[in-house]
Every structure is written in C-alpha cells, then in structure tokens.
Structure 1
Amino acid sequence: MNLIDIPQFIKTYITKRPQSLFEIDIEQHKDTLSKKIEGKSVLVIGGAGTIGSSYIKAILKFKPGKLFVVDTNENGLTELTRQLRSDANMFVPEDYRTYPMNFGDPVFRKMFLAEGPFHIVANFAAHKHVRSEKDKYSIEAMIDNNVFKAKEFLDLLMTKKPEHFFCVSTDKAANPVNVMGASKKLMEEVIMAYSKDLQITTARFANVAFSNGSLLAGYIERLFQNQPISCPSDVQRFFVSPEESGQICMLACMLGNSGEIFFPKLAAEQMAFFKDITIDFFKASNRPIIECQSEDEAKQKALTTKKGDPYPVYFFDTDTSGEKLYEEFYTETDVVDQETYDSLGVIKNARKLSQDQISATITELKSLMDSGTYDKTAIVDLLKQHLPDFEHIETGKSLDQKM
C-alpha cells in the first residue's frame, strides 16, 4: 500500500478546499484574538484528541503565557508533547504541563483550585462515537461523561471563573436520532443554564476527516494489518480537516457572545459520501479495489491478498441504530446569524433553562440509572421527555456488530 499525504488528500478529495474554511475570519479578527489570548493562561481538557490538540495548535499561534493539558490518554499526551516540541514553527509557553487524569476526579479538582483560575478553559472530553450506544451500561457511561461531569465542572468553574469557557458539541445535537447526539444536546442545555454567570460558547461541526477513531482513520490501520475495508454506501457527511476543527473551536471560544452556538457555513452540496471518499482513497494510493458482497467474502479475500492485488472492500447499506443518512447543524426553530462571519453561522436563540431545571433533569436521570430496573429503552424515553426534538432511530443493531 502506498502511503499518501493525508492532509493533501483531505484538501483535494474531501473538503475540496485549498485553504482553511476559517482563514478569512482568523485574519479579520487576528488583533482581537491576539488581545484575548497572548500572555493568558489556558486549560484544555481532552487535549490529546484530534479536536483538542488541533485547538491547542490554533491557539498557540497567539502565544498564551501558560498551557495546561488534561486527558485520560497518557500516550496521547506524550505524542502531543512530541508534536509540539518537534515543530520548529510552534510556540510553546515556558509553563506547559500535561496531566493524565479525568476531569471528574478529585485530583483534577485539587489541581484546578491550586493552579487556577485560568483565563481560557476549553473542554473536549466527551463520548463522541455513535457506536458507543449499545446498552444501558454504555449509555450511562456516555451520559455521565457528556452531561453529569460537565455540570460538576461548571459548578467548579463558578468558584474560579475564566474569561472564556468553551465546551465542544456536535452536529448530531441538531434533531438528534442517537443517544450520543441527545447527550450532547443535553450538554448544550447544561452549559446554557450557566451562560448568564459564565462566558460560555459551544460549536457544532462536521465530521473531522481522519480524526482519531474515525472510519477513515481506521482505513490506515486496516491496511497495515492487511484487513478488509468496510464502508457504508448510503451515508453522507459534512467534513472539516483536523486543522479546521481546532480553528472553529478557537473562534467560537474567543469571539462568541455567551450562550451562542457556532457552526461552519457549509452548503448541502458540500456533503460527501463515505463510499466516494473510499474510492478516491484507493485511487490516490494507486491501488484498485474489489467490491465484495459480504463481510465474510471480504475477510476471506483479505487472507490471500498480496501486494498489488485489488484490495477487498465491502460497501453496505446502513442498518444500525442512531444513524442519519445526512447531517444538519440547526433546526427550523433556530434563529441563525449567517452574516457576522464569513465562514461561521451562529445560533442565537438556544434554549436557556434555569440551573434548578437542569439539576432536576439530572436528578431524574440519575434516579433512573440507580434504580436497578432500567434498560436502554427507559433511558431513551426519559431523554425524549426532556428533549422534544429527540427522535431515536432503533434498529436493534449496533456498529460494534460490523467490521
């Protein structure tokens, strides 16, 4: 398999943008960004992931004075540090520290209270995969991380308020059809409840091409292990590059008014089918493919595939729970500003419940999960009561049942 230039492949075949979507807005607001970031202290939670690390790289261009990065992925933090330290063009502040810890743990609280307050705080720690939705245990873990811990962290932030707080969301929070999207929609409502007391913004954005754990990033691992490729033929998505994912979060964090939800201004025709990307991926690699009719056929062909042979690929129609065939960033009831920024839209009328209402919702969810008699359906039904636009798609099949 010929290794290809992934960043160039993303520009050419996926986003089809030679430069960043957000380049104009960054240039137009560079003085404001510099004023708000230069010399400031920054805390990034979940900073070892694709989006969190891209946010760090975006914000370092404006020379903050202190950077603390927290992530449960110790290896990811090590690689992040190697990337930053090995880049001759990268500014790294003298006070740079990484902590392999969970932002919900007591040791994190000790660190935050002793080292804070931080001027800029960004949280990227989240369950982000639809495949994480399997049963009541996986769903409880997802809601605990995306919702319960988010609220506990906001309560902690109230003791030492930052100038800017950003918490990442997802395009799947718009008219959610899966529990992951519903949990992020509820997360949005949690942070909105604090938006009068803290400077808070969030962003929904497209799939990040070749991000950690993504379908496309998995292609590289499958090829190294000489395993077949499996891809949905009927699913299309909006895409941004890893660099763009960090930039939109930086812009939303630093420029937004409290309570606003940002999203990239992408037209429907800019969505791409995974099948088309897969075909282009192999073309760019100068290797033909052979389309298989089943997973078993693809796995059997992979056993005998030699260098230069057509590579086995299985395209399938989507039949798993919680999958839309397309994505959207906002709903018909949202008031959207498409004029202020060149590349960003802003939802202006996000629902803002009281903190008491949010606490009551969380108490109800925790009571159900602590009851010992709940199942996946019960959690979904309770989420529907609190999220009127949540229409769960249940097929009885999980992505973990596929290659």
Structure 2
Amino acid sequence: MFNLDKFINKYVTKREESMFLADIEANRDGLSDKIRDKSVLVIGGAGSIGSSFIKAILPFKPTSLVVVDINENALAELTRDLRSTKGMYVPEDYVPYPMNFASFVFEKMFRSRGGFDIVANFSAHKHVRSEKDIYSVEALLQNNVLQAKKLLDLLTEIPPKEYFCVSTDKAANPVNIMGASKRIMEDVIFAYSDKFPVKTARFANVAFSNGSLPAGFIARLQKLQPISAPSDVKRYFVSPEESGQICMLSCMLGNNREIFFPRLEEAQMMTFDKIATAFLEEHGYEVLECNSDEEAIDKAVELKTGSRKYPVHYSGSNTSGEKAFEEFYTYSETVDLGRLKSLGVVTDKQIPDKAKIDGLFEKLTTVFEKDCTTKEEVIKIMSDYLPNFEHIETGKSLDSKM
C-alpha cells in the first residue's frame, strides 16, 4: 500500500526522520516549561501547518486547546484524527470552533475565556494563485494583513505570553502579492512587540499540504486525470510533521521580534515534475509526456481502459508572481546560524515605524472602499511601502492551467 509519509521522506525531503528532532530533544525541558499547563489558541488550526503545530505541542500537555477555523469539515477531521491516534494527549478542555477570527463572536469567545497564554495564527491566503484579480487580491490582503491587525488589537486587551504568526520564504525580496503581504504582516506583528512577544517563521513548501500542487497529484490519480507540473521551478520542501515542529520551536524558543527559517541546502531543492514522476512510478505507472494540457486530457481517456502509461504535461512556468528561486532572508538582515542545529534566526529586527504602517492601512482601506479599484493601484501602494517589492506580472494565472 502507498504510504504518503514514507514517499515524502524518500523522494521529496530525502530524510528518513525529521531534521528538527535533535533540536526538540536538546530543548525538551524548555519546551515543556513553555507549553505544559498553558492555555493555547490556534487560529487556522485545521489546515496543514496549523494541525501539525497542534500535534507538535500536545505531547507537552497544555491545559487547554481552542482551535478556530472557518473550515468546519476540516475541524471535524482534525478532531477525529487527534482522538483516533494512539497515545495522543488531548486536554480535557479541547474546543474546536468553526468561526472567523475576525468576527464578533470570536471576540466574545476570546474575552469570555480571559485570553490565552499562547496564540498561534495560521490563517492565511498562502497561494500565488490568490492574486488573479482585484477581488482575490483584496480578500488576500484582508486576511493576511488588515484582519491580522484587528486580531492584534484584540490581543492587547489580554496579552498572551507568546504570539506566533506564520510567514513564508516568499516574504524575502517578494515578487508576488502574497509574499509582499506576508512581509508586511511581519512588520505589523513586530509593531505590537512592545505589548507582547511576537515571533514568526519563513519556511519552505510543505510537501503535499492542503491545496498544494503535489496534493493535487493524489486527487488527479484518484480520478484518473492527467497531471500538470512546472519543470523549471525549484523549491525547498519540508514534511507536514516538520512544518509544525518549525512553528513550535520558533514560537516557544524564539525571542521577541525574531524570524526563524529551516537550514536547508540548495542541493535539497526539488522540482515539481520530478516529484510527479516519482509519485506515478511509485504507483506502477510509466510517465507519458505530452506537449499540452489538451493532449494530456485526451490521452487520459486510455487510463480508464487499463493503460499503465500516465499522461503528464511538464512545462516552463509563465504565470504572474512566480519566483525563480527561494530565499529565507535578505542580505540586509542579521542572521544567527549558531543557536539551533536545524534552524537559522533573523535577529535584531527593530520595532517598525507605526505611523508608516498606519499610513499603509489607511491607503489600503481607502482604495478598497472604491468601486473601481485596480490591481495595479494596490501593487503601487504596496511597492511604495516595500521598495524591494518587484511584482512579476505576466497576465496569466495558475487558474488557467490544469
């Protein structure tokens, strides 16, 4: 039988065990001191990274766990998964809430519980495809930036001992709106670092995470549909388990205003077409390379008659906002590579200019109140705030591909 975790270890991360185990063991007492008997709120906790974070912290026995996510079905599956896992500690005070963290009912819940010791926010638009037009751009910025500030304002009423918000490697020298939104998010949370400790992490693609291209390989195979993948895009990958461990280590061991990232070497990068080929071969198929999506779709009909030749279309990337390479920090940032074995740390980040952030928020709010706002207007506002933001616009979206 196909085992996804073993496949990821063998063909994607090429590690038999998590690269973070040594740091977890070396800091087990410190992690226990931070988590044991603490109240924890995880926002976006039913997603791939949020749920992995939950599984990473539960062995350290927090006294309560509240999980908030707008995906009611995913929350139900998270609960079934936790309850069905042998040896998994689940606190008696465990409550999954299907609600929006920017809603009034969330505020009532937060205040009624008297706040939380640890707050981790994983709610985010994380795909470059979420910037196809002005409406998707507004939704992305509302979630990643504007509503994130609303949450931070609420937390100042009852400050947590630790606050963590997930960032992305694409925040370093961003070329897409998603990456730029996360870079702005870093400034926003750091602006509150005089109220409570804030930390974040930039990290690689999470192999086979919800909504990712590799996860789509599974769905395509189940439906005997062709597979499409870029052949020229190299990416760093971590396993789902590793993604949660990165966030736990960053949240619990990080100092105020620090950014963590995995210490991966360029040789560990993978292309999506190689992952797709290994995935199909692991399932007993021979890859049949086609010259277009249309040709692959036509050839896929033969799969239903028992053909073991699986049609794929591998091609160069030509969509907006696609970064040719991955990086975790910029040359202007100070980096500590000696603290942890598996993680580097961006240090010496200063409290950002709050007046500049307020000005950015005022401009974004004003432009979104207009009926005829354009994507170009929003990019201009973001570029004025982030001088190193060089948006790559090709006029093509991932939604135009298989």
Q: TM-score range by the shorter chain?
A: over 0.9
Q: How many angstroms does 1:351 deviate by? A: 5.0
- 1:207 paired residue number: 205
1:396 equivalent in structure 2:
395
Whole-angstrom CA distance in 1 between matches of 2:36 and 2:306: 51
Instruction: Give the secondary-structure state (helix, strand or coil) at the position aligned to 2:361.
Output: helix
Of 352-361 and 73-82, more deviation after overlay is shown by 352-361
Q: Is 1:355 aligned to residue 354 of structure 2? A: yes
> C-alpha distance in 1, partners of 2:274/2:300?
21
Matches within 5 A, 1:220-299: 220-299=218-297
Hey, what does 1:141 align to over in structure 2?
139
Per-residue deviation, residues 313-334 of structure 1 (Å, max 9, x unmatched): 0001100000012211011111
Letter in 1 for 2:139: A
Selected match of 2:174 from 160, 176, 181 = 176
Measure, in 2, the Cα distance between the counterparts of 1:106 and 1:354: 29
Which of residues 5, 26, 29 in structure 1 aligns to 2:27?
29
Q: Does 1:334 align with 2:333?
A: yes
Query: Paired residue for 2:73?
Result: 75
Select between 30-39 and 306-315 the one with higher mean Cα deviation.
306-315
**What is the match of residue 312 of structure 1?**
311
Aligned to 2:370: 371
Return the alpha-carbon distance in structure 2 between the equivalents of residues 286 and 118 of structure 1.
49
Q: CA RMSD in A?
A: 1.0
Matches within 5 A, 1:27-176: 27-176=25-174
Aligned-residue identity in percent = 56
Helix, strand or coil: the match of 1:61?
helix
What code does the residue aligned with 1:241 have? S
Cα distance between partner residues in 1 of 2:64 and 2:265? 38
Per-residue CA deviations over 1:165-223 (Å, capped at 9, x if unaligned) read 00000111011110000111111110011112211000000000000000000111111
Q: Distance in 2 between matches of 1:307 and 1:193?
A: 59
Distance in structure 2 (CA, Å) of the matches to 1:237 and 1:377: 28
Contact 2:176 2:321 in 1 (8 A): yes
- AA paired with 1:383? M
Letter in 1 for 2:338: E
1:375-386 aligned at under 5 Å gives the runs 375-386=374-385
Q: Distance in 2 between matches of 1:304 and 1:246?
A: 40
Structure 1 counterpart of 2:151, which letter? F
Larger deviation, residues 263-272 vs 68-77: 263-272
Residue 394 of structure 2 aligns to which amino acid in structure 1?
T
Contact 2:257 2:350 survives alignment (8 Å): no
Single out whichever of 132-141 and 352-361 deviates more from structure 2: 352-361
Letter of the 1:95 counterpart:
D
Deviation at 1:307, TM superposition (A): 2.8
Q: Distance in 1 between matches of 2:86 and 2:306?
A: 37
Q: How many Å separate the matches in 1 of 2:343 and 2:193?
A: 20
Tell me by how many angstroms 1:371 deviates: 2.5
Structure 2 residue corresponding to 1:189, chosen from 187, 202, 207: 187
Offset of 1:243 from its aligned partner?
Answer: 0.2
Shift of 1:308: 4.2
Contact 1:66/1:93 (8 A) holds in 2:
yes
Other structure's SS at 1:303 match: helix
* Counterpart contact for 2:131–2:177, Cα < 8 Å: yes
Question: Which 5+ residue runs of structure 1 have no aligned equivalent?
Answer: none
In the alignment, the residues of structure 2 paired with residue 218 and residue 350 of structure 1 have an alpha-carbon distance, to the nearest angstrom, of: 37
Matching of residue 387 in structure 1 with residue 386 in structure 2: yes
Partner of 2:196: 198
Give, in angstroms, the shift of residue 88 of structure 1.
Answer: 1.3
Letter in 2 for 1:65: T
Q: Displacement of 1:352 after TM fit?
A: 2.9
Of residues 216, 220, 227, the one that matches 1:218 is: 216
Structure 1 residues 336-369: Cα deviation after superposition (integer angstroms, max 9, x where no partner): 0000000000011335313333222111111112
Cα distance between partner residues in 2 of 1:221 and 1:356:
47
Alpha-carbon shift at residue 372 of structure 1 (Å): 2.6
Is the 2:360–2:381 Cα contact (8 Å) retained in structure 1?
no
Residue type of the alignment partner of 2:293 = E
What count of residue pairs does the alignment treat as equivalent? 401
